[in-house]
């Protein structure tokens, strides 16, 4: 069939209004499960410090002679640890014209850009906390950096034969990666047992997407893993019934994909300097544009690394 002669169609028209949906679709992930699950505390200096301690080993031979003097045992000092605060910051700058034109999907371009920057900053913070990097004091020309979790987890680990743990577990040296190997349930059982022997009670296994799927292949999957949801983590996860309690298996897009983090989450915290937790402010106006900056100054507090562990050197594809 042909269009009848003289038909006025849309391709002949001038002045058709654009059809632009008033919504912007962005699937970039903003879930930060580690940051969401740990405590948030206050730091009061750029060098944030805390202490750990340990009880003497239990003794089955602790038997005293009747009437004997007190044993006059010696006391042991606590261990003082520290981490450095890191400043993570982003900014947005929008011209006066860009804030004045009629836009779809947002009322104000600067506010929209700042919303994006806030989400991007949260992702950067999650990545920094879970990195394998040492602490850096910083100076006039060098930015201070916190020691990420990879520089702390030493006592309880499953790793490749050519991989090495941090030597001090105090943030001063990082893990040396070894040859990657496929995740196995036995690796998790090994680290859980080691942590339990030390007195820890891990409650989650945090992994990247590939190893989250590998965890679904554990032999106990048919009877010991169940789905659950957490309103704080805003995530769906599986619960693994271990010999030492339930373990949440949580996927994390912003950790190192080669690491399986076996965590007792109440033994970690993020410490912010006062007034510097996602703090935003205007930048001085120098022309026909408006700018805002957002920043956080924070560090990772590892309350006792013996409570947790790591399954290192995992394959990621």
pLDDT at 74: 85
How far does CA 217 lie from the centroid of its chain?
25
Confidence of residue 217 (pLDDT cuts 50, 70, 90): confident
Q: Look at 259 and 7; give whichever has higher pLDDT.
A: 259
Confidence of residue 222 (pLDDT cuts 50, 70, 90): very low
Q: Look at 237 and 69; give whichever has higher pLDDT.
A: 69
Confidence of residue 21 (pLDDT cuts 50, 70, 90): confident
pLDDT at 230: 56
- In the predicted structure, residue 254 carries a pLDDT above the cut 70: yes
Instruction: Quickly list DSSP for 105-156.
Output: S-S-HHHHHHHHHHHHHHHHHHHHHTS----B---SSS--BPPPGGGT--SS
Mark out the alpha helices in 208-300 (DSSP H runs). Answer: 209-215, 221-224
Confidence of residue 274 (pLDDT cuts 50, 70, 90): very high
- In the predicted structure, residue 221 carries a pLDDT above the cut 50: no
How far does CA 292 lie from the centroid of its chain?
26
pLDDT at 18: 83
- In the predicted structure, residue 12 carries a pLDDT above the cut 80: yes
The percent of residues above 70 in pLDDT, for the chain, comes to 94
pLDDT at 17: 81
Helix (H, G, I), strand (E, B) or coil at 151: helix
Range with the lowest mean pLDDT among 9-18, 55-64, 125-134?
9-18
Confidence of residue 78 (pLDDT cuts 50, 70, 90): very high
- In the predicted structure, residue 229 carries a pLDDT above the cut 90: no
- In the predicted structure, residue 263 carries a pLDDT above the cut 70: yes
- Verdict on whether the full-model pTM lies above 0.75: yes
Q: Which residue ranges form the domains of the chain, and what is each CATH number?
A: 33-51+79-311 (3.90.1690)
- In the predicted structure, residue 107 carries a pLDDT above the cut 50: yes
pLDDT at 234: 44
- In the predicted structure, residue 137 carries a pLDDT above the cut 50: yes
pLDDT at 4: 83
E-only strand ranges, 96-175: 157-158
Q: Look at 50 and 75; give whichever has higher pLDDT.
A: 50
Rounded Cα gap, residues 264 and 281, in angstroms: 36
- In the predicted structure, residue 213 carries a pLDDT above the cut 80: yes
Range with the lowest mean pLDDT among 81-95, 183-197, 216-230?
216-230
């Amino acid at each position: 069939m042909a269009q009848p002669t003289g038909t006025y169609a849309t391709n002949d028209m001038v002045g058709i209004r654009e059809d632009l949906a008033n919504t912007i679709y962005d699937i970039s992930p903003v879930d930060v499960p580690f940051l969401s699950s740990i405590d948030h505390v206050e730091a009061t200096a750029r060098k944030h410090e805390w202490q750990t301690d340990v009880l003497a080993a239990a003794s089955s031979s602790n038997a005293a002679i009747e009437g004997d003097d007190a044993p006059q045992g010696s006391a042991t000092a606590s261990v003082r640890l520290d981490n450095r605060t890191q400043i993570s910051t982003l900014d947005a700058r929008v011209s006066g014209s860009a804030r004045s034109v009629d836009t779809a999907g947002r009322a104000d371009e600067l506010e929209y850009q700042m919303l994006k920057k806030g989400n991007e900053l949260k992702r950067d913070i999650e990545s920094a906390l879970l990195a394998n990097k040492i602490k850096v004091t910083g100076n006039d020309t060098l930015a201070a950096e916190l020691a990420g979790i990879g520089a702390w987890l030493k006592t309880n680990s499953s790793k490749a034969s050519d991989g090495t743990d941090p030597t001090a577990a105090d943030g001063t040296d990082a893990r040396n990666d070894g040859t990657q190997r496929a995740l196995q349930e036995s690796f998790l059982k090994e680290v859980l047992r080691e942590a339990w022997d030390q007195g820890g009670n891990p409650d989650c296994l945090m992994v990247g997407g590939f190893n989250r799927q590998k965890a679904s292949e554990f032999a106990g999957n048919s009877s010991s893993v169940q789905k659950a949801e957490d309103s704080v983590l805003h995530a769906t996860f599986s619960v693994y019934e271990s010999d030492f309690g339930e373990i949440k298996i949580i996927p994390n897009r912003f950790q190192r994909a080669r690491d399986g983090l076996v965590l007792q989450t109440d033994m970690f915290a993020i410490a912010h300097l006062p007034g510097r937790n996602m703090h935003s402010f205007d930048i001085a106006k120098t022309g026909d544009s408006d700018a805002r900056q957002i920043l956080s100054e924070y560090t990772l507090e590892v309350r006792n690394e013996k409570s947790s562990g790591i399954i290192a050197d995992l394959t990621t594809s």
